[in-house]
Amino acid sequence: MDLTQEDWVSQYEADTNAVILDVRTENECNEGIISNAINIDIYEGQGFIEKIEALDKSKNYYVYCRSGARSAKACEVMESLGFDHAFNLLGGILGWDGEIVSP
């Protein structure tokens, strides 16, 4: 499900079962991440699938990338693997006006 930054943040902040997932490359993450994000690079192909499958499906995932395209794809993949709650950040980190921290 696509959410605007405002909705993504307000929903995340109210969610006691939330995980932030960054699906960018390691080099991109080195430029800064959203606080508390875990990184699983969508470009890892099968490795990405295996790491996603190892995640707790009972959690709610707030997913982002650089512009929102890869994270939208990641949400589709997660839903196909049985995740009920994967929320895509529209506009990605490029549109993010919140805090960015070093990984």
The single residue of 37, 52, 65, 89 carrying the catalytic annotation is: 65
Beta strand pairing call for 100-101 and 33-34: antiparallel
Q: By C-alpha distance, which of 90, 44, 88 is closest to 63?
A: 88
29 CB-near residues (< 8 Å, 6+ apart):
22, 39, 103
- SS3 state of residue 12: helix
Contact status, residue 68 vs residue 80, Cβ threshold 8 Å:
no
29 is catalytic: no
Tell me the catalytic residues: 65
